[in-house]
A and B are shown apart, each in its own frame.
Chain A
């Protein structure tokens, strides 16, 4: 709703690579907010619908590491010892976070992108630690012409979003965001690139309020720039 460019970029990139894309319009959310808040029972109807709708897909590409982790790691836990356990495992096996899909599944790193900017990369926690996607986004960025990647010292440190955590403990969440922004600013980067839109939303929201000259952008948008 707020970041349509992410989805549009992914569609355009994958179609350029010759893939046929289906967008499950009727799926609006994976249920992570309820799940992470402890309401697993309330999460199941949402997740069941996702399982059903995606069962025939050959591969599922997910734009954010966080949602990716939900489908890939937490659905099997949510449905453990239920009738949907098998479906959850089958879905998990064919889900890919976007950068992982390109690099691991398709073996593509060079998308002929051009993005003449100094950037730093923020590792979203779920993409990094639940899914283990550290190298993939960097391999993709390395092939972008004109792009200068400067790693920040706190690249792997949480930006403080954490879903409902950001509303339950806003003061801690904000302090964590400040640590992230300070580290990004130290690199002199114009953009913080991330493969997680929710981290970008948090970092940008804080940077805008504090009038920091930081812009966040999704990895897919960078890779779709020419």
Chain B
């Protein structure tokens, strides 16, 4: 069992017994569901919106080379520097190179999940830089030295009292239970950070090939300040974020807001197209875009699961996932939690280490139903299991299923097995729940069904006579 798998099981065991935690997450996500459904009803036809979105993403992902080149050349024409990073190490080095060249000392960041993916903060801090997260949720988890709990709602696992206490300890603020006051405490500190930061780092929600722009969606205005105030702006994004046309945003912006957060439209949606141009009053002097592969092309090469690159990181699949709702985000140990994370992490970080995530699903399909770009998530988990067992079979499981196949294909053996089951059922109380009990994973928390006095087959035969 891999280390990641052990950690998952350990944390899942702990968190499923934490009723307070489960109820906190479920209450929050039920509220999301209500909000999402009310906003979905404003679409003339949500299903055809999904279909259109899926088709646009299909086109983008299947012609990624063309669109990326178009996007990069348009951006470069306006004086932006475009960097191509194959690995997370390369991406870190590119970014470190830029900040060193600028003699930067402090960095302000808006929310960027690819930054989490490449462990950017650690690398920057190790190089002696001060890094401050400006998204409220990210700021909170940064103060706690934690990974984001959810890739859209990084601090959703914390209640106001906990945040107030954290601010008291770390920032010396007065306790409060008022969300606005809490926000203002963070803002008071952050305003100064924007002004003094040498470099601003952001992500990108979408990249537009047609116009060479990146689009950033946010609710707090922090990304706008991160882009506008420091002299240098570095944007880091995965290569799958590109969309062909500017008009595509008319669909994707509201869709991201509705599916992800139950909003009509996110508070701020801004487009950035390179450094400040002559005659413009604001914007950075320098604009760098880092395009990150980090095994996305590995996923692109897999025709069966390629549509996982359609993902717009809205988080809808996490929000509806009964596994996520019961084990929470940190349990996954991944940058991208929930169903989409379970699908892509084995591709991005290694099948052997992360294959357990394909199995940590009841395959209920709630994720696939919720996905605005129609990624076949739960079937990919199923295919992930097949891929995993083709390469790393568990010998006793394979043997067990071979025997199982042998038994069910021979009526005599089935008869024997059902007789044995009756005997076993009578003896079972002697070992039930103990370590000798082969059904222990089940019987620790559930009762087994009873073998009927007359099975259906016996009924059928008695009737034929």
Chain A residues in the interface with B (C-beta under 8 A): 1-8, 11, 23, 25-29, 31, 33-34, 36-40, 42-43, 45-46, 49, 125-126, 129-130, 156-158, 160-177, 179, 201-202, 204-206, 208-209
- Judging by beta carbons under 8 Å apart, are B365 and A125 in contact? yes
Closest approach, in angstroms, between the C-beta of B370 and any C-beta of chain A? 11
Measured CB to CB, the nearest residue on chain A to B409 is A49
Determine the distance from Cα of A170 to Cα of B12 in the docked complex, in whole angstroms: 10
- Judging by beta carbons under 8 Å apart, are B12 and A1 in contact? no
- Out of A37, A130, A161, A201, which one reaches B401, CB within 8 Å? A37
Given A172-B16, A209-B446, are A45 and B388 neighbors across the interface (CB < 8 Å)?
Answer: no
- Judging by beta carbons under 8 Å apart, are A8 and B366 in contact? no
Determine the distance from Cα of A28 to Cα of B452 in the docked complex, in whole angstroms: 16
Measured CB to CB, the nearest residue on chain B to A168 is B359
Closest approach, in angstroms, between the C-beta of B27 and any C-beta of chain A? 12
- Out of B362, B389, B418, which one reaches A38, CB within 8 Å? B389
Which residues on A sit within 8 Å (CB–CB) of B450? 2
Other A-B pairs, 11, CB within 8 Å; known A42-B405, A174-B16, A177-B446: A2-B451, A4-B455, A25-B411, A25-B460, A28-B414, A36-B382, A38-B358, A43-B401, A130-B365, A158-B364, A204-B449
- Out of A37, A172, A206, which one reaches B327, CB within 8 Å? A172
Determine the distance from Cα of A215 to Cα of B411 in the docked complex, in whole angstroms: 32
- Judging by beta carbons under 8 Å apart, are B401 and A39 in contact? yes
Which residues on B sit within 8 Å (CB–CB) of A5? 452
- Out of A26, A28, A46, A176, which one reaches B362, CB within 8 Å? A176
Which residues on A sit within 8 Å (CB–CB) of B421? 1
| B266 within 8 Å of A (CB atoms) | no
Determine the distance from Cα of A160 to Cα of B450 in the docked complex, in whole angstroms: 20
Closest approach, in angstroms, between the C-beta of B448 and any C-beta of chain A? 7
- Judging by beta carbons under 8 Å apart, are B446 and A202 in contact? yes
Closest approach, in angstroms, between the C-beta of A33 and any C-beta of chain B? 7
Measured CB to CB, the nearest residue on chain B to A201 is B449
Determine the distance from Cα of A36 to Cα of B362 in the docked complex, in whole angstroms: 10
- Judging by beta carbons under 8 Å apart, are A172 and B449 in contact? no
- Judging by beta carbons under 8 Å apart, are A45 and B405 in contact? yes
| B457 within 8 Å of A (CB atoms) | yes
- Out of A125, A168, A169, A179, which one reaches B364, CB within 8 Å? A125
Given A36-B382, A157-B322, are A205 and B409 neighbors across the interface (CB < 8 Å)?
Answer: no
- Judging by beta carbons under 8 Å apart, are B386 and A38 in contact? yes
Determine the distance from Cα of A46 to Cα of B405 in the docked complex, in whole angstroms: 6
- Out of A25, A173, A177, which one reaches B457, CB within 8 Å? A25
- Judging by beta carbons under 8 Å apart, are A161 and B362 in contact? yes
Which residues on B sit within 8 Å (CB–CB) of A202? 446
- Judging by beta carbons under 8 Å apart, are A129 and B397 in contact? no
- Out of B12, B393, B447, which one reaches A171, CB within 8 Å? B12
Determine the distance from Cα of A33 to Cα of B359 in the docked complex, in whole angstroms: 12
Which residues on A sit within 8 Å (CB–CB) of B411? 25-26, 28
Given A42-B402, A174-B16, A174-B445, are A3 and B452 neighbors across the interface (CB < 8 Å)?
Answer: yes
Determine the distance from Cα of A175 to Cα of B411 in the docked complex, in whole angstroms: 37
- Judging by beta carbons under 8 Å apart, are A28 and B451 in contact? no
Chain A interface, >50% SS class: helix
- Judging by beta carbons under 8 Å apart, are B451 and A173 in contact? no
Determine the distance from Cα of A36 to Cα of B365 in the docked complex, in whole angstroms: 14
Interface residues of B in 100-141 (CB under 8 A from A): none
Determine the distance from Cα of A201 to Cα of B366 in the docked complex, in whole angstroms: 21
- Judging by beta carbons under 8 Å apart, are A158 and B446 in contact? no
- Judging by beta carbons under 8 Å apart, are A162 and B12 in contact? no
- Judging by beta carbons under 8 Å apart, are B322 and A176 in contact? yes
B: number of interface residues (CB 8 Å): 63
Given A3-B452, A33-B401, are A170 and B442 neighbors across the interface (CB < 8 Å)?
Answer: yes
| B279 within 8 Å of A (CB atoms) | no
Closest approach, in angstroms, between the C-beta of B275 and any C-beta of chain A? 48
- Judging by beta carbons under 8 Å apart, are A2 and B449 in contact? yes
Which residues on A sit within 8 Å (CB–CB) of B323? 172, 176
- Out of A7, A49, A179, A206, which one reaches B322, CB within 8 Å? A179
Given A1-B421, A8-B459, are A34 and B362 neighbors across the interface (CB < 8 Å)?
Answer: no
Interface residues of B in 149-174 (CB under 8 A from A): none
Determine the distance from Cα of A191 to Cα of B461 in the docked complex, in whole angstroms: 31
Which residues on B sit within 8 Å (CB–CB) of A176? 322-323, 326, 362
- Judging by beta carbons under 8 Å apart, are B456 and A7 in contact? yes
- Out of B322, B447, B459, which one reaches A208, CB within 8 Å? B447
- Out of A4, A39, A42, A163, which one reaches B459, CB within 8 Å? A4
Which residues on A sit within 8 Å (CB–CB) of B298? none
Which residues on A sit within 8 Å (CB–CB) of B459? 4, 7-8
| B191 within 8 Å of A (CB atoms) | no
Which residues on A sit within 8 Å (CB–CB) of B365? 125-126, 129-130
Closest approach, in angstroms, between the C-beta of A140 and any C-beta of chain B? 21
- Judging by beta carbons under 8 Å apart, are A4 and B452 in contact? yes
Measured CB to CB, the nearest residue on chain B to A197 is B449
Interface residues of B in 386-427 (CB under 8 A from A): 386-390, 393, 397-398, 401-402, 404-405, 407-409, 411, 414, 418, 421
Which residues on A sit within 8 Å (CB–CB) of B388? 38
Given A158-B322, A172-B326, A174-B446, are A40 and B460 neighbors across the interface (CB < 8 Å)?
Answer: no
- Judging by beta carbons under 8 Å apart, are B22 and A162 in contact? no
The 7 closest A-B pairs by CB, nearest first: A162-B362, A38-B385, A38-B389, A205-B446, A158-B364, A129-B365, A125-B364
Determine the distance from Cα of A38 to Cα of B459 in the docked complex, in whole angstroms: 34
| B454 within 8 Å of A (CB atoms) | yes
Determine the distance from Cα of A39 to Cα of B389 in the docked complex, in whole angstroms: 6
Which residues on B sit within 8 Å (CB–CB) of A166? 362, 441-442
Closest approach, in angstroms, between the C-beta of B13 and any C-beta of chain A? 5
Closest approach, in angstroms, between the C-beta of B326 and any C-beta of chain A? 4
Which residues on A sit within 8 Å (CB–CB) of B369? 129
- Judging by beta carbons under 8 Å apart, are B362 and A125 in contact? yes
Given A26-B411, A205-B447, are A173 and B359 neighbors across the interface (CB < 8 Å)?
Answer: no
Measured CB to CB, the nearest residue on chain A to B360 is A169
